[in-house]
A = this chain, B = another copy of it.
Amino acid sequence: MTGHARAPIKITLGHFTLMETADLGHHISRRYNDDLDRLRTRVLAMGGFVEQQLQKAVRALVDGDSALGEAVAMDDYKVNDMEISIDEDCSRLLAIRAPTAGDLRVILAIIKTITDLERIGDEAEKVGYIASRLATMERPADKYHEIKHLGRVVAEMVHDALDAYARMDADAAVDVARRDRLVDEEYEAIQRQCITFMMEDARTIRRTLDLLWVVRALERIGDHAKNICEYVIYMVHGKDVRHTSLDDVQRELHARQESPPAPAATPPIQ
């Protein structure tokens, strides 16, 4: 893409930096760019809120903070409201601007991304509920340590997926998506420990099952973060990489970087 030599304009939102997508020669109007940037900023705001919900839910469990767990569950409606509102704006923008190619992909990627963010919110809500239920019980320090670690890993995945989204960085998205395998391995390991624990002492079965649901929720959050990474790759490169191995994706992205980029995309300004 030539003729775009000016420096990228960056919009800072909390701890995310939004790479401006404007390609003025390509877009219908400056107004459309503003609409798109506003939408993407709102996705990041929703993502930031969901990330906080997740962190709070795990902290509620680890600290045995019943009120915090309940607060997370009570706040899930805010995530739902954000999803519906952004979704409506996407429909409106599709109807009035009739975007094509890269601009269309940006909006379709948003529609999918907010669905995954909403589901991450649902999983955080579940963790919040369980945390408030378990708060009154005695906490086995060792197991929560591992859940705390897994919680940190998936929260980082969500954060870094949103960061790759903000910067429209497909390579970073591939790197984040790769971490999902580690999440799965950690989940399997904790699950095995939980089973051993239940077999050793049947009185712990109920509580341990609750913990199993928590680690399952965290594992699913990793899946959703991976989905978001796949939308970033789709948005930037116009290729749907769901159900494709990450090695194949990376090979293809590098092959593309060595050949001229596809004209249809709306890449960040170089």
Contact = CB atoms under 8 A, between A and B. Distances in A.
Interface of A: 77, 80-81, 83-84, 87-88, 91, 94-95, 98-101, 104-105, 108, 111-112, 115, 195, 198-199, 202, 205-206, 209, 212, 240, 242-243
Given A198-B202, A199-B202, A202-B198, A243 B77 contact: yes
Contacts of A212: 209
Contacts of A108: 91, 94, 111
Contacts of A243: 77, 80-81, 84
Nearest to A103: B95
Contacts of A98: 98
Contacts of A202: 198-199, 202
Contacts of A77: 243
Given A195-B205, A202-B198, A104 B94 contact: yes
A95 B101 contact: yes
Contacts of A105: 91
Contacts of A81: 243
Nearest to A220: B220
Give the number of copies in the complex: 2
Nearest to A97: B98
Contacts of A101: 95
B240 A87 contact: yes
Contact of A84 (B87, B99, B195, B240): B240
Contacts of A209: 195, 212
A84 B198 contact: no
29 contacts: A77-B243, A80-B243, A81-B243, A84-B242, A84-B243, A87-B240, A88-B240, A91-B104, A91-B105, A91-B108, A94-B104, A94-B108, A95-B99, A95-B100, A95-B101, A95-B104, A98-B98, A108-B111, A111-B111, A115-B115, A195-B206, A195-B209, A198-B198, A198-B202, A199-B202, A199-B205, A202-B202, A205-B205, A209-B212
